[in-house]
Structure 1
């Protein structure tokens, strides 16, 4: 584990909110010079704490669902497990692949566009790995609240960074140029606009206009970073809470929102839980303290808790593949 000081934690905090901001703006927020901000960012990159600068794309606005599959391994050997992991890493439909512990062993998130293509993919998975993978759960998120990592600043007050969901929103189509811009920003959200223009054989003014329009349409939700959290002592913990009195759900959620380690609260379909929330914590003891505190606050309301935690992230990439852009989407709303 790498120990980082408060200034580095502040840099991570502000880059998570906006990774495309200028060094001058970032330095002012952190309380350091532009040059020192640049040096510290390079150091965080060299230590591989910052994995990359990227963009949060609202894929649902383009007509593509994100579907989570949760698996348990059966009759598994190390070689077969590695083969399965590599299959999902290299699959063009996957956005997130992770080894987890708790109630599941393995999590894969897929883009779903054309349902017929999706069916073909899962037929292939069953043919290859039916004897080794048991599907334990399937979820499609329809709404979420996302919080702003206040624990990085040792702040005990949490606030909502963004909220919403793709279901019910009007869908948008994008041009080839828009897709190319998104692809470049997904790989490096700090790339200068002039470099993007040169790559696209376009002009700075056109690229700026296109980016502003993507933000206005909420196809670009934010510029952010991917952090290797285990390197600084944190892991993702997903907590599921079932209630004996569903009418108390809002009270429980309101209380959980105050936790500075809460990163998101998600609502899904085909979900075997009443409340699904995600924390960044140092260990399972911190999670246990959270559940005990909730139970103390709401006696006789909580039926049970379940959790799973990612310990090895194999793939994380949330840019819609080109092959999906060119196909008919599984539309859930009216296209503009």
Structure 2
């Protein structure tokens, strides 16, 4: 996007802090006329810089766990690749489906109740597509810290008071069917209106509003954000798998990288690496520069790291699409 301006960056950053904010409020916060703001947002949408408006939902809190699957293609052609991507995108319990470049070609993130519920999925993947997949790796995610794209407004240290989302199991909740309907709607469109939900669910607007407030209070709804195609901004989405010499240093690593304005996510997982870090960077050299900056200041902390690039986001949905009740009451227990 050659005519991308500093004001456009400010708009994107502001929307990512709360994409349900009114035009009037955003215009006031960034000092721009409302008509100009509407035009700029529409333009960002039309150019697919803003891919979607989504809700960050902590599905851990009602019984789900996260398994990440990375793989490389073999014996592949364009039609088969499209078929495999569609296969994963249509699965009701996939959170993320992404085309990658580098160590892996495809990344899938699943919501699952437990390993017993995941095994049939895993088995079916390789029964139907195993001859086209190799070098497959699984990660069992424990925690994810998701940050705002601070680099849009500054290249200095991330402000300490900047909000970020923590996705992990903090409590075990029972979610009503009506709450689940709200979450299902918000997961695909964070800008869904309360009036529209009220009509669809045959509930008053005040009832819907109170349910949303309660979901936020219980840490289920964390924030309303936007999915940005950073390639349109001339940036690269890089994920690093970091291997430490000693796991006792993991807190130090996380604390340091949290300050970096180009870091957008840090994850603790069981599996291939000790910590995973996602960046939005100017180029590959910029990514290595950020890694070496830490390694120079903290010698013998990081053993080594590998990385790959996120190319295309095919699906992003923070809650499974189909939820089955485990009992016959009007509550769904997870």
Q: Same fold (TM over 0.5)?
A: yes
Q: Distance in 1 between matches of 2:315 and 2:8?
A: 25
Residue 251 (structure 2) pairs with residue 250 (structure 1): yes
Once the 2 structures are TM-superposed, how far is the Cα of residue 114 of structure 1 from its aligned partner?
5.9
In the alignment, which residue of structure 1 is the partner of 2:215? 214
In structure 2, the CA distance between the partners of 1:91 and 1:240, relative to structure 1 (3 Å rule), is same
Counting only pairs closer than 5 Å after superposition, residues 70-109 of structure 1 correspond to structure 2 as 70-109=70-109
Other structure's SS at 2:51 match: strand
Counting only pairs closer than 5 Å after superposition, residues 17-166 of structure 1 correspond to structure 2 as 17-113=17-113, 115-159=115-159, 161-166=163-168
In the alignment, which residue of structure 1 is the partner of 2:171? 170
The answer to whether the 8 Å contact 2:165/2:223 transfers is no
CA distances 1:288-309 after superposition (whole Å, capped 9, x unpaired): 2112222322234332111111
CA distances 1:7-27 after superposition (whole Å, capped 9, x unpaired): 111111011111111222211
Q: Distance in 2 between matches of 1:121 and 1:276?
A: 24
Counting only pairs closer than 5 Å after superposition, residues 163-312 of structure 1 correspond to structure 2 as 163-167=165-169, 169-270=170-271, 272-312=272-312
Once the 2 structures are TM-superposed, how far is the Cα of residue 69 of structure 1 from its aligned partner?
0.6
The answer to whether the 8 Å contact 1:149/1:158 transfers is no
Gaps of 5+ in 2: 328-332
State which drifts further: 179-188 or 144-153.
179-188
Q: Distance in 2 between matches of 1:58 and 1:252?
A: 24
Output the TM-score relative to the length of structure 2. 0.89
Other structure's SS at 2:303 match: strand
Gaps of 5+ in 1: 329-334
The answer to whether the 8 Å contact 2:65/2:114 transfers is no
Output the TM-score relative to the length of structure 1. 0.89
Other structure's SS at 1:91 match: coil
Residue 9 (structure 2) pairs with residue 9 (structure 1): yes
Once the 2 structures are TM-superposed, how far is the Cα of residue 88 of structure 1 from its aligned partner?
1.2
State which drifts further: 220-229 or 139-148.
139-148
Other structure's SS at 2:174 match: coil
CA distances 1:121-151 after superposition (whole Å, capped 9, x unpaired): 2221121122221253211221232222211
Q: Distance in 2 between matches of 1:171 and 1:302?
A: 35
The answer to whether the 8 Å contact 1:143/1:163 transfers is no
In structure 2, the CA distance between the partners of 1:258 and 1:33, relative to structure 1 (3 Å rule), is same
CA distances 1:279-324 after superposition (whole Å, capped 9, x unpaired): 11122111121122223222343321111111122222223222x3
CA distances 1:139-181 after superposition (whole Å, capped 9, x unpaired): 12212322222110134121452353433x2221222221222
Q: Distance in 2 between matches of 1:33 and 1:149?
A: 24
Q: Distance in 2 between matches of 1:202 and 1:173?
A: 20
The answer to whether the 8 Å contact 1:113/1:327 transfers is no
